[in-house]
Amino acid sequence: MSEHDDLDAALAEFLELLRRGRAPEPEVFAEAHPALRGDLLALLPGIIAIEGLKYPSSPAAPPARLGEFELRRELGRGAMGAVYEAWQPSLGRTVALKRLAPAWAGDARSRERFTAEARTLARLHHTHIVEIYGAGTEGDELYFVMELIEGRSLDRVAPAELGAPGAARERCVAELGRQAAEALAYAHERGVLHRDIKPANLLLDAQGLLHVGDFGLAAAAEGGAAAAHSQPDAGTLRYLAPERLLGRPASASSDQYALGLSLHELLRGLPVFVAPSVAELIRRIGDEPVPSAPCSPDLAAILAKSTAREPADRYADLAAFAADLRRFLDGRPVVARPPSAWRTLRLWARRKPVPAALGLLSLSLGVACLVILAVGYRRVSEALRREDGERRRAEANAAVAQAALDRIFAHFDRLPDGFAFASPQSARLLDELLPSYAEIGASAATPPRRLAEVTLILARLQSRAGRPREALESFERSLALYAALPDAAPQLARARLHLAATLDRLDRRPEAEALRREVAAQAGTPGCALPAVEALLDCVDSSRQVSGARAARGAPELARAADLLTPLLRADKPGVEARFLLCRLLAADAGAAARFEAAGLPHDPVLLLEDLVREQPRDPRHRLALSRQLAKVRSRGAPDEAAPARLRRACEEADRLLADFPGEGAAISNAVEIRLKESVALQRAGRTDEAAASLQRAEVILGLLNRSGEGAERRQSELSRKLDEARESLSR
């Protein structure tokens, strides 16, 4: 008889004893089979779980209560005991209570293991991990109390409930996997291995959130081989990583394998490995690779990497696994499947349809331009050997190429400054085309003014694409070009303001402040009044960020800005920029409204901004400012009865902005902040249910902020803190 046959016979014997209620502890059974002791200690606990069987337990009914907890009904059973729904009268809440099986109450090792599970849960505080509330004893009874998850484990969820086959189900499974991977990454960071990840231990609540439960087999991640020998439980056989069959200790990588296999099963609706006997199941897990998942290539590649036979071929950790699932959900290239340039472009276009359409147009123009360039240069070289008429024809071809590039840069120049996202691909495209533009300009006498404009566009795009240091070099070139031009003071002033904004991003505030002061000092230069007003308002905004709003009140810059704006607003048709700067001034200086009203000038910022939004609905600055202005309500003193309605309008404007610019961090942050204000106003008005709903919507929107651009992590942390404070206030 082969070793496999011996093991199969021993396992069959143990199963029979289990079914007859006479099975000994795994260690006792293993001692009776010394040649198979290691394999049996690794496999018997998993076999118990996979068969849905339990250690012998007392046939007596559970007590009606344990401590203060009233036991209502049994929710499930495991190897160490049962879980009940229980009522806690002192706090008026329903909880889950896990009770050690009476058969193990007198066993010191079992009691310690049960207590260790409670201690492990107490170390973990994560949205997607079942929370423990406390532990207790009642005579010989041992129990601990947990959060009750109103829902089902994933092994009881039918595939159809996860969405129709195809993209919908794939996204649902990927999202559940992301939540579980982030929870396990958190546990691993705190030195805890789960060791029994499977669909039955992944709980789905009524809101669609996943919770990792049952840490009964958890072990210290740093324990290594010693921990594996002191705690031989292997987890459930079907989800055991291949290296565990070779006697290697549990690791973060084996948790990753089990999660990947669980997600694979959710997609299939069937177990990945099935076999007529336990020994055959062990052979298949150890010898056969996990088959390709029935899903899109990207998700299949992610699952294949997480369930690779060799741990070194899997993700470095669960955080990397979660990050790749997020990339899949966001429609970005995944690490598990290195993308081709074409696929990267296609995925980006799916995520960013508006910039993609613009990019496609620009790329088409760029390709046409390059073709024209090649033809133009060839003809230019030939024209040098011909008559003057041929030379003029070559120059005309170069002019056509220059015009094509002009169109490309003009499209980028129309992107709203300081807000709309400029992708790194767009910035690189312009970066590559700029030398060609300069070369053509030199050969075709391109006006230096146009070259300065194009260089400034490039600098602004580099800054908005998160490349501020490269932007500084482009700004310097543009400033040098403008400085050499006559009558270019207004353009030079605006270039300095754009440079100041980039210096702010690099925390070089003194240099930015000096540039703005320089622009403000040029207010008397023709065409420089508006840039001077903008510089003064930027100075106030910068001071407010550093020293707070109170320090900015009554700033002399505000009075100077009002003086400069007044004659511009008296014109027959004040321009859009002058009216928008007026709105900024009114928002910054509470006393400015009375001054402009006395002068017979517009002074209601809401009406002004509503007009600007109607005139230019796609300019995000106007709608952003309107939503913020509407959100200015009194938060102290007697409740303002009009505040909820005004904030509802602010939320609607913020949502419209978010719909137009879904990936823009400023739009996301604005929508969250306004809903936090709305929640406070509703709470002050006694409308707590509506306040809670507003907070819930804010939390959903906040999830969009992750990786939305430069500074997203800092903004997300700050807004999460405010959200927690609002929840705490509402709970009181």
Q: What is the SS3 assignment for 157? A: coil
Residue 702 has pLDDT above 60, yes or no: yes
Q: How far apart are CA 175 and CA 180, in angstroms?
A: 9
pTM of the predicted protein model: 0.45
What's the maximum distance between 2 C-alpha atoms anywhere in the chain? 111
Among residues 111, 39, 504, 71, which one has the least CA distance to residue 283? 39
Q: Confirm if 578 and 552 have CB atoms less than 8 A apart.
A: no
Instruction: Name the percent of the chain lying above pLDDT 70.
Output: 73
Continuous H helices in 599-687? 605-615, 620-630, 643-660, 665-684
The DSSP result for 92-117, as a single string, is TEEEEEEEE-GGGTT-HHHHHHHHHH
| Residues annotated catalytic, as ranges | 196
Among residues 314, 319, 173, which one has the least CA distance to residue 257? 314
Region 690-702: mean pLDDT is 84
Region 85-94: mean pLDDT is 93
Residue 144 has pLDDT above 80, yes or no: yes
Residue 21 has pLDDT above 60, yes or no: no
| Token pair belonging to 133 | 């509330």
Whose tokens are 């006792």? That residue is 28
Q: How confident is the model at residue 287 (pLDDT cuts 50, 70, 90)?
A: confident
98-119: buried (b, 16+ CB within 10 Å) or exposed (e) per residue? bbbbbebbeeeebbebbebbbe
Digit-coded pLDDT (tens) for 353-367: 545 444 544 555 555
Among residues 437, 469, 468, which one has the least CA distance to residue 452? 437
Digit-coded pLDDT (tens) for 564-602: 988 988 887 888 889 999 888 888 888 888 888 888 888
**Radius of gyration over alpha carbons of the chain, in Å?**
34
What pLDDT does residue 172 have? 93
Instruction: Name the percent of the chain lying above pLDDT 90.
Output: 22
Say which residue, 107 or 611, is predicted with more confidence. 611
Sign, CA dihedral 397-400-402-408, equals: negative
Residue 223 has pLDDT above 50, yes or no: no
Digit-coded pLDDT (tens) for 452-492: 887 887 787 777 666 777 888 888 988 998 999 988 999 99
What pLDDT does residue 433 have? 58
HSE, side-chain direction, 13 A CA sphere, residue 728: 6
Residue 152 has pLDDT above 60, yes or no: yes
Q: Confirm if 193 and 255 have CB atoms less than 8 A apart.
A: yes
Exposed (0-12), middle (13-18) or buried (19+): which is 125, by Cβ within 10 Å?
exposed
Residue 181 has pLDDT above 80, yes or no: yes
Mean confidence (pLDDT) of the chain: 78
Residue 29 has pLDDT above 50, yes or no: yes
Q: How far apart are CA 557 and CA 561, in angstroms?
A: 6
Query: For residue 438, is it left (φ>0), alpha (ψ between -120 and 50) or beta?
Result: alpha
Q: Confirm if 183 and 170 have CB atoms less than 8 A apart.
A: no
| Token pair belonging to 339 | 């993308």
Continuous H helices in 125-268? 167-189, 224-230, 252-268
Residue 230 has pLDDT above 80, yes or no: no
Residue 432 has pLDDT above 50, yes or no: yes
Q: Confirm if 197 and 239 have CB atoms less than 8 A apart.
A: yes
What pLDDT does residue 203 have? 93
Rounded-to-10 torsion of CA 427, 431, 433, 437: 120
AA identity, residue 165: P
Q: How far apart are CA 320 and CA 339, in angstroms?
A: 17
CB count within 10 Å of CB 163 equals: 14
Q: Which residues are CB-contacts of 528 (< 8 A; sequence separation ≥ 6)?
A: 489, 490, 493, 519, 522
Q: How far apart are CA 92 and CA 73, in angstroms?
A: 17
Which run of H or of E encompasses 433? Answer: helix 424-443
Say which residue, 227 or 390, is predicted with more confidence. 390
Question: 378-387, 436-445, 550-559, 636-645 — which is least confidently predicted?
Answer: 436-445
Q: In this structure, what DSSP letter does residue 129 have?
A: B
Residue 334 has pLDDT above 50, yes or no: yes
Region 104-109: mean pLDDT is 78
Q: What is the SS3 assignment for 631? A: coil
Region 94-112: mean pLDDT is 85
Say which residue, 498 or 25, is predicted with more confidence. 498
CB count within 10 Å of CB 396 equals: 12
Residue 633 has pLDDT above 70, yes or no: yes
What pLDDT does residue 224 have? 39
What pLDDT does residue 407 have? 55
Q: How far apart are CA 361 and CA 354, in angstroms?
A: 11
